[in-house]
Amino acid sequence: MPLNPEGGFDELLAMGRGFQAAKMLSVAVDLAVFDFLEEPRSAVEAAAWLKADDRATGIFLNGLAALGLLVKGVDYFHNSKIASRFLVRGKEDYRGAILTHMQHTWDRGWNELKNTVLSGRPREEQPEKWVDAQEERDEAEVRAFICGMDAIARDLAPKVAAALDLKGVRRLLDLGGGPATYAIAFAKANPHLHAMVFDLPLPAKIAQEQIAKYGMSGRVGTLTGNFLKDGIGTAYDFIWVSQILHSHNEGQCRLIIGKCVQALNPGGALAIQDFFLDPDGASPPGAAMFGVHMLAVTPQGRAYTYGEVAEWMAEAGLAAPRHLRYNGGDATILLAKK
């Protein structure tokens, strides 16, 4: 959160310590601590299950209790309500994948931020590996990334589906749609609609699993490819591009928008959701911070102002892009028709 510019040193100190709670949460998810503590257990029992040091485990569990992630009894710990809901693997509302992905971005991006600011580029352009590599270790990282996107989009997608008018849409493309969360939500809200999710092979595989899970295989399909290089199909009534542009440079963004316009039917619409900046480039705070995140983890990505993207949409042949705000935090939508 932004500092109070009139505040004291304690605010700076709290900001500097912010990594501590984040790291504790990440380690607890990685170790599956919350899986074990659905039932009350002692620190010694937890240490034995983790194959960890007794003393260190006790200190760590006390810290998690102090953060509100665990509840501590006389001689036992168990999950708090929020940890039980979101951090136990196998539960319907499990969201731990996004926290695992955040740890990956720390290890291969944020930890090198000083060098990136000085050099202009991350030392390891790792996000390309998350979506391109086929090795087993990288597939695990892809899953953390794509399932992490589902963890975020799961609450937003129904709100977006309610905010967009898709009544006349028969064929919809979700470009770079990852786990198909939005495509599934659009199809559920509009029984006449058939959606296609376009993404690279590993994300498309995860999308297929999600589509089958929700019983939408008859109305939501997948196409595999690289949207910077390959065709994305044609004759769409609506194209949805969510949280894609910020990973790319301006030239690539223009290319993506141009491909979408070419793939639309006359009268079709393109909707782009992203963390758009206001004209000042420093607000809202979440979007500005996300711009730094893209600096840390992508070769040339950044947050863009809604004015920049609206201009590219108009130049590509779309009429009067309008900025649509909904209850999606810092995420907003630019919408325009061909």
Q: How far apart are CA 167 and CA 190, in angstroms?
A: 7
**Bridge partners, residue 334, by sequence:** 272, 323
Ramachandran assignment for 62, one of left (phi > 0), alpha (psi -120 to 50 degrees), beta (any other): alpha
In the predicted structure, residue 128 carries a pLDDT above the cut 90: no
Tell whether 81 and 193 lie within a shared domain: no
In the predicted structure, residue 5 carries a pLDDT above the cut 90: no
**pLDDT category of residue 123 using cuts at 50, 70 and 90:** low
pLDDT tens digit sequence for 320-337: 999 999 987 889 999 999
Q: How far apart are CA 207 and CA 288, in angstroms?
A: 30
Tell whether 181 and 298 lie within a shared domain: yes
- Token pair 């028709």: residue: 337
CATH code, 79: 1.10.10.10
Tell whether 76 and 216 lie within a shared domain: no
| Residue 188 burial class via C-beta count within 10 angstroms: exposed 0-12, middle 13-18, buried 19 and up | middle
Tell whether 78 and 175 lie within a shared domain: no
Residue 331 domain flag: yes
**Cβ 299 vs Cβ 125: under 8 Å:** yes
Radius of gyration of the chain from its Cα atoms, rounded to whole angstroms: 22
Q: Give how many domains the chain has, as a whole number.
A: 2
- Mean pLDDT estimate for the chain: 93
Residue 309 domain flag: yes
pLDDT tens digit sequence for 219-273: 999 999 999 999 999 999 999 999 999 999 999 999 999 999 999 999 999 999 9
- Residue 157, domain extent: 153-337
CATH code, 289: 3.40.50.150
Tell whether 225 and 331 lie within a shared domain: yes
Residue 121 domain flag: no
Residue 138 domain flag: no
**Cβ 296 vs Cβ 112: under 8 Å:** yes
pTM of the complete model beyond 0.85: yes
Domain boundary among 94, 109, 126: 94
- Nearest to 37, CA basis, from 88, 85, 73, 75: 88
Residue 24 domain flag: yes
Residue 109 domain flag: no
Torsion sign over Cα 212, 214, 220, 223: negative
Domain boundary among 79, 94, 109: 94
Q: How far apart are CA 34 and CA 39, in angstroms?
A: 9
Residue 263 domain flag: yes
CA distances from 85 to 28, 35, 88, 91, 151 (A): 15, 11, 7, 8, 13
Tell whether 53 and 160 lie within a shared domain: no
Residue 143 domain flag: no
